[in-house]
Amino acid sequence: MTTEELAELFLAHLYNLAEEAPHPNFLFSVNDFAPKLGITDREGLQKAINYLGDRGFIILASFDMFGGISAGITIEGSILVEKGGETGIIKQYQKVPQTFMTPPPEPSPPVIDRERTETVNEEKQRSFFARHAVEAILEDIEDILERDDTVAAEAKKDLLSDLTTLKIQMERSVKNRQILNVMLGNLSRIPSITPLITGLNCIVETYFR
């Protein structure tokens, strides 16, 4: 695109902004002009603006310290746009403006921390297996305890009550370690289930801190 074509395209954009404004003698921020049309040559755009200023088609066109553009269109500039300009690009722009537009870039897919994701998945998987192991051990403890004839009936009743409390604690998202330790300590005194209690205690220490 030549300097003259870019200048007229800019002027047509400025003309449209003035048409939409309640008063045409405004200075407009036209910072969306370059990105909307995919213009990355800031030096070329500055030349086009200088060209328009030299011919009296715009007023007070300026770049601020951040690269922002402010400009107003003069009567002469409006007349040039209404006549269709000199290069032919204004007529093209007015006829099919979409052909000059650059579609917004598609958002980049989120960056996935694969290592972190794998770590989280592994932790969830370990926790899943740990919960099922605890459930199986608790069922075995209950079964063995009920069939253990060496434990007195009253003591067995208390131990089964401790086991129920232990099950309730293990099902909670926030576990009371003090209650867990007491229940595990009571149950560990029974020789027939001591190995299971030891294994259960190891799982609790490892996965349910």
73-77, 91-95, 168-172, 203-207, range with the lowest pLDDT: 203-207
* Beta-carbon count within 10 A of 9 CB: 22
Distance (Å, whole) CA 116 – CA 36: 38
Could you read off the pLDDT of 15-54 as tens digits, one per residue?
A: 888 887 766 556 676 677 777 777 777 788 888 888 888 8
Buried b or exposed e, range 20-32, using 16+ CB within 10 angstroms? eeeeeeeebebee
pLDDT of residue 118: 54
**53/122 same-domain check:** no
pLDDT of residue 152: 92
Looking up residue 73, the CATH number of its domain turns out to be 1.10.10.10
pLDDT of residue 67: 54
Could you read off the pLDDT of 90-118 as tens digits, one per residue?
A: 888 887 766 666 554 555 566 555 555 55
**86/152 same-domain check:** no
In which domain, by residue range, is 50 found?
3-100
End-to-end Cα spacing for the chain: 68
pLDDT of residue 16: 84
Could you read off the pLDDT of 135-172 as tens digits, one per residue?
A: 888 888 999 999 999 999 999 999 999 999 888 888 88
